[in-house]
Structure 1
């Protein structure tokens, strides 16, 4: 009878652990995907201006985030990180509405477009969301923006 050394035992144990881990990963649920991941829309923000916005959506289960940057609003002064409170309103499945909110933003230099997000919201499988309006509050000043074009290439599908 041949004696197996401890090196063989360690190799066998490591291989067994690796196979078990691979099996666990294969059985884990996949992260949900949003399509499209990025969309554009045009906003009119009244006296603050108008312009294009780029929206980027992500999803993890029923939690979803949308980040956006828009040339419709530019900052006349530097804005510190996490100083912009935003509410993005979207049509939900063609009839109702839902909102995504947040107070996260990168630092915004004077003269730059406003970026905000991630804005957080809740979704269900199959939800179709398209942006309709955006409210941005900076230093107590509120800019309300209304969509002047449809979201392109179409609504986010979660």
Structure 2
């Protein structure tokens, strides 16, 4: 009789631990829209449409940016330090950083990312705000880009 009780207790405890593990497991999130575009002005480096793709896994998010900015010289892979600052609805910002880029031939558009950052459920983020939205450091030269329009089709909303 005692072994049945012990087995029952073990089964109940195993079930409780499994449920607790599920309760504390990070949830995968979904960001909407998955991509957006905005107009950027990077001063003497040019400007134009930047396409931004967002992904989310729990509180971790990444941004990949394809810009209209071109480099006058070839840039090797993972040579651009980048910081993307997005305005948070209601105030504040979220920052995404990284040193990830494919190799870029001279005169070709720059793609950066994925840049990593942290988000919270309900964050609504847009690259359009007062300040430098995208900062790139290429071979020690800083390129500051301002977003001059709001993102279309709209801000990134994280769940």
Residue matched to 1:127: 123
d(CA) in 2 for partners of 1:113 and 1:136?
A: 13
**Count of aligned pairs:** 132
Of 59, 63, 66 in structure 2, the residue corresponding to residue 62 of structure 1 is 59
Q: Which runs of 5+ in 1 are unaligned?
A: 1-26
TM-score normalised by length of structure 2? 0.78
- CA positional deviation for 1:93: 2.2
* Aligned pairs (5 A) from 1:6-155: 31-71=28-68, 73-132=69-128, 133-155=133-155
TM-score normalised by length of structure 1? 0.79
Q: For the aligned residues, what is the CA RMSD?
A: 1.6
**Which stretch shows the higher mean deviation, 87-96 or 139-148?**
87-96
Structure 1 runs of 4+ aligned residues shifted over 4 Å read 27-30
Query: Which of the two has higher C-alpha Rg?
Result: 1
- CA positional deviation for 1:94: 3.5
- CA positional deviation for 1:123: 0.5
